[in-house]
Amino acid sequence: MLNSPAVSVVLAAYNRAEFLPETIDSILSQRFQNFELIVIDDGSTDETQRVLVPYASRIKYLYQQNRGPSAARNFGMRNARAEWIAFQDSDDLCLPNHLLTLHGYVRNHPDCGMVFANGSYLGGPEHNRETIIPEAKSRRLMARGVQLEDLFDKSIVRLQAALMSKRCYQEVGGHDESLRISMDLDLAFRIFSRYPIAYIDEVVFSYRKHSGNISANQELRLIENIRVIEKLLEYNGNAEAMLGTGRVRSRLAYRYYRLAKGRWKQGDKVQAREALTKAIRLRPLFPKYRLCQIRWGY
């Protein structure tokens, strides 16, 4: 274990014994080797501890009672020794250029709060594209820099493709431990409000899509996305002016509308109507929401 690593890689794991060895191997195989790897076992009940035994000499293993991914990442950060933090998911893969690319940037831009890059899909193309951020948009982000509307319109930040300053992470309060899905977007909003965020047009990790992805919980994703937008408006007093009131209200309304449709499909008509009412209050003249109101008979 290095005495003064340049990067601390924090890997939070909960019942991912099936994927952990491949993920850890991808981290240990980095071209850039000046890092420590901290594995946070977030109260796993599977074979996580057993599969980690062969890596004992190359990782720092920490255990906590299950508190969720945000709490596990905060715990890892508190035990990190480096000035730069890379958070990794326990089921995705780092490409060999990951740390070399990202640390190469921050070495020349030490005031940067966070730099992130693109990712690919481990199972092949998804959504009719090879990369998580479409190629044209990726080139545009690299050319003109990251704007608040880029973060707001699409959740483009994946912490598996990011490197952030530990000082910055601590200053903005770390991960919101009440969030389980939208914590990356929330953190990116808060970092953007205080520090420069940079983007590199390069693929540095592969996302593994499987039935256990927590992001598959659509209702929780929508609820948290609404909360994160509301937090942004509270945290950054200039956010609404920068984005435009219409854009903010439109996105919030659409989230409430999708939440309403999901609840209606599940048979929860009371909660569905409440969510749709909130969408209509935000966009009272939008025909789609009014038509839905008529169809639902209230």
Beta strands in 71-176 (DSSP E): 84-89, 93-94, 114-121, 162-165
pLDDT by residue for the chain (298 residues), tens only, comes to: 447 899 999 999 999 999 999 999 999 999 999 999 999 999 999 999 999 999 999 999 999 999 999 999 999 999 999 999 999 999 999 999 999 999 999 999 999 999 999 999 987 777 778 999 999 999 999 999 999 999 998 879 999 999 999 999 999 999 999 999 999 999 999 999 999 999 999 999 999 986 655 555 899 999 999 999 999 999 999 999 999 999 999 999 999 999 999 999 999 999 999 999 999 999 999 999 999 999 998 6
Domain ranges for the chain = 7-215, 244-295
CATH topology classification for 7-215: Spore Coat Polysaccharide Biosynthesis Protein SpsA; Chain A (3.90.550)
Coarse DSSP helix, strand, coil percentages of the chain, rounded to the nearest 5 percent: 50, 20, 35
* pTM of structure: 0.92
Beta strands in 2-99 (DSSP E): 7-13, 35-42, 60-64, 84-89, 93-94
Beta carbons of 186 and 209 less than 8 angstroms apart = no
